């Protein structure tokens, strides 16, 4: 359809402008195949191939040899309706150019959004906060260009616990559910010690405000922005864009109570079966998936072999997958049981006995026989006894999973040994198992000397009780009469009390997450703690030794169809030691950094994220990172990525750079 004839001055002379539909785009050459539209914007049979884009994305652009402006195709998508012009001097339309969009101006490329939450003046829960929106176009070289006037449409609510932007895939439409100074939580799964997950709520201590964990809305291609309960990304579509599943929710069946002992105390939680519910279309009926997670508890909490497991669905990602935290206990040995262990005492003594020597030529001094070494003995002593003790050997297992993908598989072992009475062993009172004698009658000819222990070795051992493994204390010196060299052996005493050792990794927590097409594309922020503990407790319950080291590590995990990366972002370390006993005095040090104020999103094929690294000792923010990575967007290179860690690069003030910031991707 001929829409308008323009006869003013231009680069090409007089122009004629048409309506057209984009059928396909060649972004490498900034050209498109188009179909001309009629007066009702209906496709005609008139088509053209390799029409150049001539659309100014920014003030300075490079013109290709084919006449197109490099990168200008990034402002357009398949099925966009556009203005096409040609010079009237060439009625054959050989000089067609795509010069604009019927629906108005649009930046070239996708846009990154930074929604800054300034709650510095907020003085009560629910009070107003100030929002500052920054918008940046992702250019063809994957750098950012700040827009002087943001055009993104963002509805804003500060009734969340996290920093979430939910965006439309095909329109300029975004909803931000963010946290203010009163509702903010670093973790999605644990808020003030309470287990939470996406779509749940948290009520303030005074009951005045209710906050949303995550958000209660998500986009889908059939309805646009709609409600969601348990899924951040609430649909999966096939290659043609048709929804194949959506509206993911959880059906919970309570099976009973779980004592779920942790240590010596029950936690009393519900045993549940959690089943995924979904629809095959937005108007379809709810369907129960065959995928479910069932908690269990088996055995007596006070017996060996006691075990339990529970599953925590943080958010659903498909009809059969979830971002899932699991925790399982396996009590190999119960600490409630007094049990017998075998303790073996074994030693070897080399003994010399001095007596009269009558052999010819032996010790005949001054016309008479003297005494010398008459015999040597190798004496072995052995005794086995059973002693009543308390032992505990328990392992806690934690996993972080998304569908069939196990991102972390942790274990944390606790061993406790306790003896009720001192174990005292007199080395020479242990029964003799063998005595090998050698008749010598030679050597040092001095006065009669009785007997002398030349050497001694041994101690107590127990395969079942580490504490009952200790050697005798043997001192070397002139301990035999007459000042002869020999040894002295002390009484061995192992005092009553307990030892506790812990080692492994635990405490998995979620800091941020988004997904696309189920588990095919993921971005995840999480933390875990690696710890070791050694502790000695005397018979009256005082620590005599205590040393704990815990290192909390913060990770970012990104998965695309062709790659996955796990990046360590920060580590904080806590060390606690006993410096004096009775009363016990402990010294603690905390060093390193932790990750704070996480926000992330996957939209329009791009994962965007931000996080802060905070010094644990000073509380000062050491840096903020804003990054993004291309996962599926055909306008950019696969897995192309970039990060900014300087506020001036993004034209954000230092004050706002340290504020809470929610990030998103929107249609340019």
Burial class (CB in 10 A: 0-12, 13-18, 19+), 560: buried
CA–CA separation, 424 and 493 (whole Å): 4
Q: Is the pLDDT of residue 10 over 50?
A: no
Q: What is the per-residue pLDDT for 74?
A: 76
CA–CA separation, 408 and 333 (whole Å): 26
What is the mean predicted confidence (pLDDT) over 268-288? 96
Q: What are 412-435's pLDDT values in tens digits?
A: 999 999 999 999 999 999 999 999
Q: What is the mean pLDDT of the chain?
A: 90
Q: What is the per-residue pLDDT for 441?
A: 61
Q: Residue 32 is encoded by which pair of tokens?
A: 């498109």
User: Among 617, 536, 533, 546, which Cα is nearest to 577's?
Assistant: 546
Q: What is the per-residue pLDDT for 365?
A: 54
User: Among 306, 383, 384, which Cα is nearest to 341's?
Assistant: 384
Residue 576 CB contacts under 8 Å (≥ 6 apart), including other chains: 546, 547, 548, 586, 587, 588
Q: What is the per-residue pLDDT for 5?
A: 47
Q: Is residue 7 very low, low, confident or very high in pLDDT (cuts 50, 70, 90)?
A: very low
Burial class (CB in 10 A: 0-12, 13-18, 19+), 133: middle
Distances (CA, A) of 316 to 45, 229, 242, 301: 46, 9, 20, 32
Q: Is the pLDDT of residue 12 over 70?
A: no
Q: What are 221-277's pLDDT values in tens digits?
A: 999 999 998 999 999 999 888 999 999 999 999 999 999 999 999 999 999 999 999
CA–CA separation, 345 and 384 (whole Å): 6
Q: Residue 507 is encoded by which pair of tokens?
A: 């405490």
DSSP H helical segments within 101-222, as ranges? none
Q: In what order do the strands lie in the sheet with 269-279?
A: 235-237, 243-258, 269-279, 287-294
Q: Residue 118 is encoded by which pair of tokens?
A: 């300034």
User: How far apart are the two ends of the chain, measured CA to CA in Å?
Assistant: 28
Q: What is the per-residue pLDDT for 367?
A: 55
Residue 361 CB contacts under 8 Å (≥ 6 apart), including other chains: none
Q: Which segments of 196-337 are extended strands (E)?
A: 201-203, 210-212, 217-220, 224-227, 235-237, 243-258, 269-279, 287-294, 296-298, 306-316, 322-333
Q: Is residue 490 very low, low, confident or very high in pLDDT (cuts 50, 70, 90)?
A: very high
Q: What is the per-residue pLDDT for 91?
A: 61
Q: What is the per-residue pLDDT for 400?
A: 98
Q: What are 89-104's pLDDT values in tens digits?
A: 656 677 899 998 887 7
Query: Taking the C-alpha atoms of 252, 253, 257 and 263 in order, what is their torsion angle to the nearest 10 degrees?
Result: -40
What is the length of the chain?
668
Q: Residue 544 is encoded by which pair of tokens?
A: 């005599």
User: Among 574, 263, 530, which Cα is nearest to 411's?
Assistant: 530
CA–CA separation, 566 and 92 (whole Å): 56
Assess contact for 660 and 597: CB atoms under 8 A: yes
Q: What are 492-514's pLDDT values in tens digits?
A: 999 999 999 999 999 999 999 99
Considering only residues 206 and 163, tell me which one the structure prediction assigns the higher pLDDT: 163
Element (H, E) at 26: strand 15-26
Task: Name the 3-class secondary structure at 7.
Answer: coil
Q: Is the pLDDT of residue 563 over 60?
A: yes
Beta-ladder partners of 522: 515, 559
Whole-model pTM? Answer: 0.85
Assess contact for 185 and 179: CB atoms under 8 A: yes
Count of Cβ atoms closer than 10 Å to residue 285 Cβ: 7
Phi, psi of 74 (to 5 degrees): -70, -10
Which of 135-144, 481-490, 602-611 ranks highest by mean pLDDT?
Answer: 602-611
Q: What are 628-650's pLDDT values in tens digits?
A: 999 998 888 888 999 999 999 99
Q: Is the pLDDT of residue 577 over 60?
A: yes
CA–CA separation, 159 and 180 (whole Å): 8
Assess contact for 456 and 427: CB atoms under 8 A: yes
Cis peptide bond upstream of 651, omega within 30: no
CA–CA separation, 386 and 333 (whole Å): 18
Q: What is the per-residue pLDDT for 444?
A: 55
597 Ramachandran zone, left/alpha/beta (phi>0; psi -120 to 50): left
Q: What is the per-residue pLDDT for 9?
A: 43
Share of the chain above pLDDT 90, in %: 72
Q: Is the pLDDT of residue 618 over 50?
A: yes
Q: Is residue 206 very low, low, confident or very high in pLDDT (cuts 50, 70, 90)?
A: confident
User: Among 361, 349, 327, which Cα is nearest to 429's?
Assistant: 349
What is the mean predicted confidence (pLDDT) over 18-28? 88
What is the mean predicted confidence (pLDDT) over 469-490? 90
Task: Name the 3-class secondary structure at 49.
Answer: strand
Q: What is the per-residue pLDDT for 2?
A: 44
Q: What is the per-residue pLDDT for 78?
A: 85
Q: What are 360-409's pLDDT values in tens digits?
A: 455 555 555 555 566 789 999 999 999 999 999 999 999 999 999 999 99
Residue 207 CB contacts under 8 Å (≥ 6 apart), including other chains: none
Q: Is the pLDDT of residue 193 over 60?
A: yes
Q: What is the per-residue pLDDT for 265?
A: 94
């Amino acid at each position: 359809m001929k829409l308008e004839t323009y006869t003013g001055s231009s680069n090409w002379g007089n122009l004629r402008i048409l309506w057209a539909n984009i059928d396909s785009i060649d972004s490498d050459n900034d050209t498109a195949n188009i179909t001309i539209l009629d007066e009702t914007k209906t496709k005609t049979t008139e088509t053209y191939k390799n029409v150049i884009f001539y659309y100014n994305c920014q003030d300075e652009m490079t013109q290709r040899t084919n006449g197109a402006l490099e990168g200008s195709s990034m402002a357009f998508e398949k099925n966009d309706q556009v203005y096409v012009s040609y010079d009237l001097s060439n009625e054959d339309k050989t000089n067609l150019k795509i010069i604009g969009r019927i629906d108005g101006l649009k930046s070239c490329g996708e846009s990154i959004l930074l929604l800054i939450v300034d709650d510095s003046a907020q003085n009560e829960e629910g009070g107003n906060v100030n929002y500052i929106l920054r918008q940046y176009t992702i250019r063809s070289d994957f750098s950012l260009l700040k827009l002087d006037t943001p055009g993104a449409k963002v509805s804003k609510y500060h009734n969340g616990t996290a920093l979430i932007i939910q965006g439309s895939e095909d329109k300029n439409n975004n909803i931000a559910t963010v946290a203010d100074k009163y509702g903010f939580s670093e973790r999605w799964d644990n808020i003030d010690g309470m287990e939470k997950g996406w779509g749940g709520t948290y009520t303030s201590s005074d009951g005045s405000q209710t906050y949303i964990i995550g958000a209660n809305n998500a986009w889908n291609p059939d309805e646009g922005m709609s409600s969601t309960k348990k899924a951040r990304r609430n649909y999966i579509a096939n290659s043609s864009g048709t929804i194949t599943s959506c509206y993911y929710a959880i059906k919970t069946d309570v099976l009973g109570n779980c004592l779920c002992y942790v240590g010596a105390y029950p936690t009393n939680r519900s045993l549940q079966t959690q089943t995924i519910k979904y629809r095959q279309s937005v108007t379809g009926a709810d369907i129960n998936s065959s995928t479910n997670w069932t908690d269990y508890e088996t055995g007596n909490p006070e017996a060996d072999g006691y075990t339990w497991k529970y599953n925590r669905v943080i958010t659903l990602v498909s009809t059969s997958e979830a971002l899932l935290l699991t925790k399982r206990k396996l009590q190999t040995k119960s600490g409630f049981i007094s049990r017998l262990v075998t303790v073996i005492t074994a030693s070897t003594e080399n003994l010399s006995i001095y007596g009269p020597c009558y052999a010819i030529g032996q010790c005949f001094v001054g016309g008479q026989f003297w005494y010398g070494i008459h015999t040597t003995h190798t004496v072995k002593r052995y005794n086995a006894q059973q002693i009543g003790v308390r032992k505990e050997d328990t392992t806690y297992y934690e996993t972080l999973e998304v569908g069939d993908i196990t991102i972390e598989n942790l274990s944390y072992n606790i061993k406790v040994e306790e003896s009720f009475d001192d174990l005292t062993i007199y080395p020479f009172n242990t029964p003799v198992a063998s005595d090998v004698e050698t008749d010598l009658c030679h050597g040092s000819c001095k006065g009669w000397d009785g007997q002398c222990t030349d050497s001694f070795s041994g101690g107590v051992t127990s395969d079942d009780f580490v504490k009952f493994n200790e050697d005798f204390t043997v001192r070397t010196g002139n301990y035999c009469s007459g000042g002869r060299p020999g040894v002295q052996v002390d009484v061995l005493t192992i005092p009553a009390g307990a030892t506790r050792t812990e080692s492994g990794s635990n405490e998995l927590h979620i800091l941020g997450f988004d997904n696309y097409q189920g588990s095919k594309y993921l971005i995840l922020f999480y933390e875990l703690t690696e710890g070791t503990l050694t502790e000695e407790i005397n018979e009256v319950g005082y620590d005599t030794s205590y040393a704990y080291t815990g290192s909390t590590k913060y990770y970012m995990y990104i998965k695309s169809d062709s790659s996955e990366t796990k990046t360590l972002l920060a580590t904080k370390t806590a060390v606690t030691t006993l410096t004096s006993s009775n009363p016990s005095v402990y010294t603690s040090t905390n060093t390193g950094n932790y990750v704070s104020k996480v926000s992330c999103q996957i939209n329009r094929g791009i994962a965007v994220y931000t996080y802060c690294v905070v010094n644990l000792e000073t509380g000062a923010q050491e840096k903020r990172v804003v990054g993004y990575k291309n996962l599926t967007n055909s306008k950019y290179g696969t897995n192309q990525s970039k990060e900014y860690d300087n506020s001036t690069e993004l034209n954000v003030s230092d004050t706002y750079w340290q504020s809470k910031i929610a990030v998103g991707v929107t249609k340019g």
